Structure 1
Amino acid sequence: MFSKPVGWFEIYVQDMPRAKAFYQAVFATQLEKLESPDPALELWAFPGPMDDSNGASGALVRMADGPTGIGGTLVYFMCEDCATEAGRVVANGGTVMREKFAIGQYGFIALVTDTEGNLIGLHSMR
């Protein structure tokens, strides 16, 4: 097995400007446009080197009929304190599904939906 079992993630969106604004505001970061060989495919990557073995790289993806909303994939974003990011969700158009709660020795999580209806997890050790 690789040291980074999850090598990439994609969060499918219908409204890229709205979704991009949500993720940039909630995580206080800037996404970077990725070049696509297909003009119908738009990608905006989360910061970080794609070849780093410590954590997964990923992007927001907009494509015709792309699957969005709560489904079979749940991506957890690492946070210093997941309550901080959860506290930014509603003001940026998302919904808090479950406030920060303890998961024993594994720290804490909060569950939220983004502006596109995707369920995402927030994880922290405090």
Structure 2
Amino acid sequence: MEQNMVSWFEVPVTNMDRAKAFYDKVFQIEIQVQDFGGTLMGWFPWAEGKPGANGSLIQHESYKPSNTDGVLIYFASSDVQKELDRVEAAGGKVLRPKTQISPEVGYMGVFLDSEGNRIALHSRA
């Protein structure tokens, strides 16, 4: 295979303004929102030539946030605790605190976002 398996992801939201504010605050980023004929997409920052998949928030009636069903996305972090410390102030809930997976793999944490999606974090430290 010439590339990693994941090339794109979409995080369902029911309120784009609230979701944008949540992710901007937790990750200290600036999501850019565009309207594609009634489908709102909020683009996560993309670094050309860097490893990892790109994705967006998406608001459309066919997309439903879930805290139990479907795929679990892991966002990369320099230290999981940094984002977890900002989750509740941004309107989310920490479901699993920073937990060591193994010394070789690093750490993970899980939270609910402002829309009710279960989202994970991973860091080496």
Q: Per-residue deviation at 1:114?
A: 0.1
Deviation at 1:5, TM superposition (A): 1.5
Structure 1: stretches of 5+ with no match in the other structure: none
Name 2:56's counterpart in structure 1. Answer: 59
Instruction: Map 1:1-126; keep pairs closer than 5 Å.
Output: 1-34=1-34, 36=36, 39-49=37-47, 52=49, 54-70=51-67, 71-104=69-102, 105-126=104-125
Secondary structure of 1:103's match? Answer: strand
Q: Distance in 2 between matches of 1:15 and 1:34?
A: 14
Equivalent AA in structure 1 for residue 17 of structure 2: P
- Percentage of pairs with the same residue: 37
Aligned length: 123
After TM superposition, give the deviation of residue 3 of structure 1 in Å.
Answer: 2.0
One-letter identity of the residue aligned with 1:76:
Y
RMSD: 1.4
- Counterpart amino acid of 2:9? F
- The one-letter amino acid paired with 2:121 is L
The Cα of 1:35 is off from its aligned counterpart by: 5.4
> In structure 1, the residue corresponding to 2:108 is in which secondary structure?
strand
Q: TM-score, normalised by structure 1?
A: 0.91
Runs (5+) with no aligned partner, structure 2: none
Distance in 2 of aligned mates of 1:57 and 1:34: 16
Query: CA–CA distance in 2 between the matches of 1:61 and 1:6?
Result: 17
User: What is the letter of the counterpart of residue 25 of structure 2?
Assistant: A
Q: Structure 1 residue runs of 4+, over 6 Å off?
A: none
